Structure 1
């Protein structure tokens, strides 16, 4: 049977859906509490970093057509061990992020349905949400694509309305930078930058499902750049309206956009944005449920995880990987809060960002005859800037978050050598590097 695939605009909508979720709905108040009106500059700073990283990922996605994203890039540039470590972390990050999103959905629902905050009811909602999405993904890409497109449009419409109306309700004195330090509980640009960067994460995920995309070498790079530009503009305008409407009151509300919408539109606006919040967080859960199993499959295809994880159903979906990620995700979601899981998730992502940026430099030098379909401009500028800023941002995290966030690298080491030993025993002791160090189109002559 012919497998249904994502076209260019469906890829763009999937990317937007994978990024715009609970972060921008639940974090603007916390960013304001840390940096006041300077949180607008924080968003611009994070947008620059995210776009720089996106350009690196866009260049790499133009070299490969396999699932896996950061795992494939690191493996090609640095070999099997580093590739596995990045892939193992990517799989863990994706599952943790999905767990955080499902937890965030239950938290947001409790704002309008207080019973959802009762532990038993909250856990039931999480299991029902993640289980339903896992089941939907088993039944094929066509259904997932249709639901994703509908949900993404549904989440953007309330935000467009919120921005369009909110720009006419701004109070200029609320946006004065001179009062930022006084408004903030403890002025910290670095802490705010690390916190709000969580809302930008997810752009790298769409490359994980390259095999489910039409013409991925052409469409993925362009889609990644477009997604980040759209998201950056949305975030800056949303924060501007939130500050301009609520002022210092922004740091005192748990639902910043919904509170600002109530000020602009009254009860109707509150209901509209609250519904949009639930659709948005539900949508990012859907994107996570679709993308997470793909990186697991990519590693299993290379015999670095049990091969059973790469089995496909009659609908052309990796059903074992879907079931595995769903069950593990549910267990993680039931064990932690949204804030804790989000903090671990954002720190963990640098374990894939840094190797991927380095991979751009390595693969450019190693294979100048096979340039990407979209190369980051200005030579090494964007990879180098991305590496430097990522390290600085990572150092803003508390040591315990760094340990929890990057601890998966240590956990992955015994798994790598265990799987390597089993693979070599089946191959009669002959190790094969499986495309290591060579972009996919350059392997034909090996």
Structure 2
């Protein structure tokens, strides 16, 4: 039996989809840490063979960035676990190993956990070296925890993560797909995962992360106050209200590969205004623009010395940097809006509002504004219309998220007593 090699730390085995498509020798030349890392494993593990099969498998997903990213991460975990924890090639795993791997994914050791969105490789002298802070499991540090740590002048620390049923199901699915690929490629092996019966965990209805009416009133009030105090914050106010009123994702304002929003993304058809975006999956959609939003569009454009409303030929950028350069990144948009969240929380505390509602504003992200607008409007809008503006593929998704929230409010409002009214 091969001995464990737990002294070897987990390191990234793959980089971008483009690097998967290239020659592996070129990959190693650009990533010089890789060869000595692989040499640290016993020769009987056949790490080079495992990597060759894994790269061939990942190539088939290279044209879908999100799928590639997920498959890369989950397959990488399997391979690293197989080498480091079990001391085996992935071609030698059995059912017992597969069950142990799935259990490992639920409660990984702290040494395998790091902050999410960590760069895999760091540039140095024209080459790409291992980022020592990267880990196979990325834990998202909640925004509220980051802010509390910043206020206390401490460094936020990722906590051990227990994954939900959805994540475990994905790990299992990717592992099965990998072994199916090997079988179809003519490998004489038995998939160690196929005979494992998966009992899907119960998933509750999605919890909507949305502001209360009180929180939203404070938020938009502070955004308006900032715009009145300094014209540069007309952009801030426009972003906040646009995300809320049109249920936008941040990418609908920052743009995506091959598409950037322009002023004539707003257009008038008959008596109604619309906003055209290219959303997730490069799907075009037209979003209805409520009448109450038009004054915000006008005041924003007028702050840029433009006519109140855009013409069909106005292809100027929708958003600009403070130095006048066109277009903003998602990160820039978040940084612009964050002071509004902070001011709203401070104002609520000054006014003596409930501390729980004040502290919740530490957790708020831009995506909450999308959910807030949709949650408020679900009381008055047809579910199908709301679905189309949100860009959900399935009507049931819209109903589960937003109309479930209405049911919760309906239940909470039914608290009358039986006697003594």
Instruction: Compute the TM-score of the two structures, normalised by the length of structure 2.
Output: 0.27
**Higher RCO (C-alpha 8 Å, min separation 6):** 1
- Considering fraction of residues, name the structure with more strand: 2
- Considering fraction of residues, name the structure with more helix: 1
Q: Considering only CA atoms, is the larger Rg found in Structure 1 or Structure 2?
A: 2
